Amino acid sequence: MAFEELLKVEQPKYLEIKDLELLRTSLLEDVDYLYERYADKKFTWQEYLDLVHQLHQNLVEKFITEKEKLAHIFQTEQGSYYFVLQSGHSWRIKKEERGLTSQPIIDNIFFIDKKTGREILDNHSRGDVQNLIDLGIKCVDYQIGACPFEIGIHNYNRPAIEKAGKYIRILGTIPQGSDELEKQISCGAHIGHEITEIIK
Percent of the chain with pLDDT over 70: 90
pLDDT at 118: 87
Q: How much is the pTM?
A: 0.88
List, for residues 158-197, the tens digit of each pLDDT value.
999 999 999 999 999 999 888 899 998 888 888 999 999 9
195-198, strands of its sheet edge to edge: 189-191, 147-153, 99-112, 90-96, 81-84, 72-76, 195-198
Burial class for 128, CB neighbours closer than 10 Å (0-12, 13-18, 19+): exposed
pLDDT > 60? residue 1: no
List, for residues 116-153, the tens digit of each pLDDT value.
998 888 766 555 567 788 889 999 999 999 999 999 99
**What separation in angstroms does the CA of 24 have from each of 15, 87, 162, 184?**
13, 17, 29, 28
Q: State the Cα–Cα distance between residues 99 and 29, nearest whole angstrom.
A: 18
Higher pLDDT, 180 or 3: 180
String of b and e for 56-87 (b: at least 16 CB within 10 Å)? beebbeebeeeeebbbbbbbbeeebbbbbbee
Burial class for 151, CB neighbours closer than 10 Å (0-12, 13-18, 19+): buried
Q: State the Cα–Cα distance between residues 138 and 165, nearest whole angstrom.
A: 9
H helices present in the chain, as ranges: 3-8, 17-39, 45-65, 114-123
What average pLDDT is seen over the chain?
90
pLDDT at 10: 56
